[in-house]
Structure 1
Amino acid sequence: MAGVAAVAIGVVVFVADAFAPLNVAIAVLHVAVVLLSASAWNRRGIQATSLVCLGATLLAYAIAHSHEFSPHAFGRLLLSLSAISITAFLTLKGQAATQALVEQSESLRRSEAFLADTQRLSQTGSFSFKAPSGDMYWSDEAARIYGYEPTVPPTMERVLARVCSGDRAIVRGAFDQALRGDGPIDVRHRLRMPDGETKYVHVLARTIWNRDGECEYLGAVTDVTKATRAEQALHHSRTELAHATRVSTLGQLAASISHEVSQPLSAVNIHAKACLRWLNRPEPELAEVHNTLARILEATGRATQVVARIRSLARKGEPNHVVLDLNELARETLLLVQRELQTQDVTLRVELTNDRAVVHGDRIQLQQVLINLLMNGMQAMRGGTGESLLVLRTVIETEGDVTLTVSDTGPGVAPENEARLFEPFFTTKSDGMGMGLSICRSIVEAHHGCLRLRNDPRITKGATLALTLPPYRSDIATPIERTNVSSVGAL
């Protein structure tokens, strides 16, 4: 319709300008034609319409004033041409600005759609929080994560209503920090949804300041429920696998365990018979009986300790991190493998540091690692020639870390196997599963330590496995304690 109207007006103006005896600049009305063309056609159409209007104006002037020159008519011609040209220029500029605005609007719409889709796919919502007013805004995905409709405005009360009771202190602390504008926020906590479902979320936010000195937090909240549950399942599987490996190791140590238990039981039997002899005398030797009973109690205590150590290794449970001396743990562990050393004719040399090798960790898990390293060393020397020597050392590194090494005089590790030594299911033994060292490394890394093969080019025989753990410091939180504190909300 706009195009038809423009053509009609253009024809009427041309006819009036060329044939009507009017002393006015009627050609100026071509401006309306140019303006209407902006609604009907694109940029090229506007340019063509403007040129046609300019040409029609010149043609009408030539028809009307070809017989004589009139200064007034010529002035009206220049006025009309100027008006048409300026209108065309402004119309083209306006259309370009309108098109740019439309493109920006479309780009913004696409960006918002992409952002919404990305947030939905990644389960990450965005939010803002103004301090100290507490005004909040959140995206549709953030509202969905907290179980609200997108139209529901966010408030601290609505957020806290979804937070599990055990984590509300953490979230309130984060809100208080935001109200003060006190640095970035990094919080993990749980949500209890109206249907009873538990969600795990990770909240990150940073501050921005405007020219007026007002603080606003821009942040993201991510639903990490699937990842957290996968981590929990992985932790459970690792715990089960570590327990199965411990039980398997106890089977390999059956001879040593039997020897450790039979020794105090044999002593009890001998001392009990002695007691009977002292009591069967015409005059019972009660002093000797008393001393012998004391030795029986001592022997039963030793047997009880051995059984307790075996039961603790076989027990299934969550890790219990305590302060312990790695030297003392090594001495306890050697009692369990003593018989195995004798059976395989392995000479053991123990070189423990005189300093206290104090670390923070789970006694059972670390003992499992040490048993595995000792058994691997003995198995590596099985069937070899020459002296079978196993060396256990503890040292305090320059940085304070505690390192325990187990060295053997076996054939060593082939260079092509070094990179795969700690891979699951990799083994060079015909009867091995290849899980021992892999589980040991997982345990050590969970203690923020490292387990590695230490090669000395000067030594052409044997292998050395080094276990390094961070030292326990009573004046600061240990790495494990810091991890527990930072992940309270996620557990």
Structure 2
Amino acid sequence: MAIASTIFRARDLEGGAQHLVFCLVAVVLAAGVFYVDTYTDIEGAIAVLYVITMLLAAQATTRVGLLAISGCCAVLALLSYAMTHGDDGDLQSTVRLIVALAALAVTTMLLMKTESARLTLLSINSALKESEERYRSIFDRTRVALWERDYSKLHALLMNLKRQGISDIREYSRANPGFVDRCIDLIDVVASNEAAREMLGPNGSAMGALKRTILPTQDKFIDVLQAIADNRRVFEDKAVVRTDSGEDKLVLLSISFPADPASFNRVVVSMVDVTQREMALKALAEAQAELTNASKAATVGAMSASLAHELNQPLGAIIVNAQTLLRWLDRDPPDLAAARRSAERMIRDSERASEIIRNTRSLLAHADGKLESFRLDDLIDETLTLLEHELQRSGTTVVVEKEETPLLKAVRIELQQVLINLITNAIQAMDEAGSGERVITVRKEKQDDDAIRVTIRDSGPGISAEAKEKLFSPFFTTKASGMGMGLSICRSTLEARGGRLDGGNHPEGGAVFAMSMPIRPETDHA
């Protein structure tokens, strides 16, 4: 009993009274088999009954215990044989002993294998339980709204339609008005986390609310049905869902479909509320549009200032010539030849003023985004003329490196707006730094067969490392009165037409901005 107690101790602790019962029955049975085999005249392989002892012990012992009990039973069988037959054992009794020992060995091997399988199964079940607990913990605690939904009946319906040759779910839903409602009714909500209930409300995750939740976005739901019919593994898109309070929210919807059709009873659906983000992006886009219009208005203002500056000279000349004409006419006799020359100069100056106005109107007339072909040299000259007053005020010299380039097809007023912005930034940077020599170098070259590159370099202090990282970020500025949208708008303007704008420091000093523009855009209108 002491031996049995040691053998069964582990199982006794684990299984309690039931294991103890198996232990006692196995010990009593082994003792009974030994007694019958040794002290009775029954002829037969009584020792084979030790197998029953092993089967009973297997319910309450470990692998080590099984080996110990098997050894004990074998010793009992051999001891019984020695006590009953001694040295005069015959062939028949020896064969019975061998059969009993063989049965005992085979039973022990099978029980050991069964025990190994049982332990493996317990380990697998334990791992599965831990995995399920981890999954459930992540599912419940994550801040992403998650649902587990049963799509098995819906999947079966769509696969049946597919077998009937129906592949276009949208067309089928148009031909069958009640189809979408029927599909929604086939979906069951298995579980949802706290984030899902916070997003849609306390009742937003219930099965009864599923139809109301999907109602605002039936078109997207049809896309989900099409994804299932096409055996796609993932569906992602933006969709609108309705909360308990009737509020519509824009969410990023993601559904992971299993590869095994039998697993459609637990499909994970996630939603991320992007309403505020989309509203912020929309507000930013509207602000950028307003600032772009403001920038265009500023360009018109610069043109107006330049126009007033340019018209001042011919108008002044007209006044002087008109006064001279009156003096020639007041002479006695009037000097008609001199008066005629004054009148001719007045006509010349008037035509010059008219040409200035006509050129400015021509520039403003293309503000609607119309593409036109023009020489880049002409555009640079016109831009510098517009900025002539600002350049003279700041004492800045502009050097244009002439190089022959092909005609450029672009929106003239947009490109001129970018040039004005970059040159104005260079002037202001050199003003703030108090640069002694103020030079802006404009260089143009053919970048390749499809693009022209224009670089604008100043002789200022250059761009700091901190500013370089945020150079084109909206609302970033190093100016006290700046809005921080100029460079961002310039880059967006060029990229919208297939171009590019980069900025940095020149190896020899100063900041340099490079504009890359396609010679001919792919389309006539962006």
TM-score if structure 1 supplies the norm length? Answer: 0.62
Match of 2:214 in 1: 162
> 1:65 is matched with which residue: 85, 100, 125?
85
Q: Partner amino acid for 1:44?
A: V
**Residues 141-200 of structure 1: CA deviation (Å, up to 9, x unaligned):** 799699899997xxxxx89972744x71x664575476456x887652313235334242
**TM-score scaled to structure 2, two decimals?**
0.59
Query: After the TM superposition, which of the residue ranges 187-196 and 26-35 deviates more from structure 2?
Result: 187-196
- Structure 1 distance, partners of 2:357, 2:43, is 133
Residue 277 of structure 2 is aligned to residue 230 of structure 1 = yes
Shift, 1:133, TM fit: 3.9
Match of 1:259 among 293, 297, 305: 305
Specify the code of the residue in structure 2 equivalent to 1:375.
T
Residues in 2 aligned to 1:34 and 1:19: alpha-carbon distance in whole angstroms: 22
Structure 1 unaligned blocks of 5 or more: 153-157, 211-215, 274-293, 313-319, 479-491
Which residue does the alignment assign to 2:514? 466
Task: Mark the CA change 1:380 to 1:197 in structure 2 (over 3 Å): closer, same or farther.
Answer: closer
**What one-letter code is carried by the residue in structure 1 that aligns with 2:214?**
R
Report 1 or 2 for greater relative contact order, CA contacts < 8 Å, sequence distance ≥ 6: 1
Report if aligned partners of 1:189, 1:201 keep a CA contact under 8 Å in 2: yes
Determine the C-alpha separation between the residues in 2 that align with 1:66 and 1:50. Answer: 23
Unaligned runs of 5+ in 2: 1-17, 163-185, 320-350
Pair 1:347-2:397 in alignment: yes
Aligned counterpart, 1:83: 103
Deviations along 1:51-96, whole A, 9 cap, x unmatched? 1221222222223333641332222211111111101100110111
1:23-172 correspondence to structure 2 within 5 Å = 23-66=43-86, 68-118=88-138, 121=142, 132-133=159-160, 162=214, 164-165=216-217, 168=219, 172=222
Cα RMSD after superposing both structures: 5.9
Instruction: Tell me how far apart the structure 2 counterparts of residues 420 and 469 of structure 1 sit (CA, whole Å).
Output: 23
Change (3 A) 1:237 1:191: closer
| Structure 2 counterpart of 1:200 | 251
Within 5 Å, give how 1:317-396 maps onto structure 2.
337-348=387-398, 353-358=405-410, 370-382=419-431, 383-386=434-437, 388-392=438-442
Figure out how many residues of one structure are paired with residues of the other and give that number. 426
Tell me if structure 2 keeps the 8 A contact 1:256–1:336: yes
- Offset from partner CA, 1:373-411 (integer Å, 9 cap, x none): 22221134334344x333445656326355443222335
Q: Deviations over 1:218-256 (max 9, x none)?
A: 998653434x743653664586489679979989x9994
Asked if the contact 2:491–2:500 (Cα under 8 Å) also holds between the matched residues in 1, the reply is no
User: Is the CA contact 1:132–1:180 (under 8 Å) kept in the aligned structure 2?
Assistant: no
Q: Secondary structure at the match of 2:59?
A: helix
Q: Which of 1 and 2 has greater Rg?
A: 2
Q: Does the residue aligned with 1:66 lie in a helix, a strand or coil?
A: helix
1:132–1:179 Cα contact (<8 Å) kept: yes
- The range that moved more, 326-335 or 68-77, is 326-335
Contact 2:309 2:389 survives alignment (8 Å):
no
Q: What's the offset of the Cα at 1:367?
A: 7.4
8 Å CA contact 2:444, 2:455 repeated in 1: yes
Q: Is the 8 A contact 2:476 2:485 kept in 1?
A: no
Q: Which moved more, 1:15-24 or 1:322-331?
A: 322-331
Tell me by how many angstroms 1:371 deviates.
Answer: 4.4
Farther-moved stretch of structure 1 (236-245 vs 297-306):
297-306
Counterpart residue type for residue 189 of structure 1: K
Q: Distance in 1 between matches of 2:88 and 2:76?
A: 19
Report the Cα distance in structure 1 between the residues aligned to 2:146 and 2:379, rounded to whole angstroms.
Answer: 46
In structure 1, how many angstroms separate the alpha carbons of the residues matched to 2:504 and 2:444?
Answer: 14
What is the rounded CA distance, in whole Å, between the counterparts of 2:393 and 2:31 in structure 1?
A: 117
Give, in whole Å, the separation in 2 of the partners of 1:159 and 1:472. 48
Deviates more, 1:1-10 or 1:332-341: 332-341
Contact 2:307–2:360 under 8 Å retained in 1: yes
